[in-house]
Amino acid sequence: MLTHQRNQYHQIVVKSGKNFLTTFYKPEPNIINQISSQRMTQVNENRERLRPIVKTIIFCCHQNISLCGHRDDGNLLDVVAGNNSMVADEGNFRAFLKFRIESGNKALQHHLEICKSNATYISKTVQKELIDVCKEIIQENILQNVKAAKYFSILFDETTDLSHISQLSLSFRYLYNGTIKEDFVTFCNVHDMLKCDDNDTGDVEPRVTSELSV
């Protein structure tokens, strides 16, 4: 037995076994887990940066407040510090962000302090993109409820906008948890919807519901 214990292969096996048990009971974070952990930390930080921006956009849309002004460029922190003479020409969105910072929103202030000028996420382009994302999420939630209800009716209402284009509002009426709901989904350009080929009947409803995957 003593001779066996002195053999090199036995000592290697014993050492490997001890290393396995140590790793099993006291696991150290490996490179993959460390990278994953760092990535999740970065993701959470990015979410916290975007949170006040997205909430401000949602608030403006919910209250039917326009976002853009005559001039929405420049460093917002300069506006907060009073170094920008164009304050009166800025839109409501930037004004609300300024109010958030002045009210003590450190996450938003820190984001604008350290971000690059092309990564502030408060430009007019990003505003529109975030609004589109919110629209898609709301539409998806409504359509899921409509599909779950199985039976629904489609409500159309036509009006002409300021550019003299006929717009068709589309809403769904359905039963949800014992309650009748009517949810607006989208606007349709009537002129575009009525364009059809020789094999098309010209009916609007089938085209609209197919586009919305109902």
Parent domain of 178: 148-211
pTM for this model (two decimals): 0.66
**Pair 159, 170: CB distance under 8 Å:** no
Mean pLDDT within 108-126: 88
Q: Which residue has the higher pLDDT, 20 or 136?
A: 136
How far is it, in rounded angstroms, from Cα 174 to Cα 178?
10
pLDDT tier, 54 (very low <50, low <70, confident <90, very high otherwise): very high
Residue range 171-196: mean pLDDT, rounded: 83
Which residues have C-beta within 8 Å of that of residue 5, sequence separation ≥ 6?
Answer: 11
Contact 172, 184 (CB under 8 A): no
Q: What is the DSSP string of 8-51?
A: HHHHHHHHHHHHHHHHHHSPPP-HHHHHHHHHHHHHHHHHHHHH
Mean per-residue pLDDT over the chain, rounded: 79
Please check whether residues 38 and 117 belong to one and the same domain: yes
Which residue, 122, 139, 168, sits at the end of a domain?
122
* 36 domain residue, yes or no: yes
**Confidence band of 74 (pLDDT split at 50, 70, 90):** confident
Give the H/E segment covering residue 108: helix 106-114
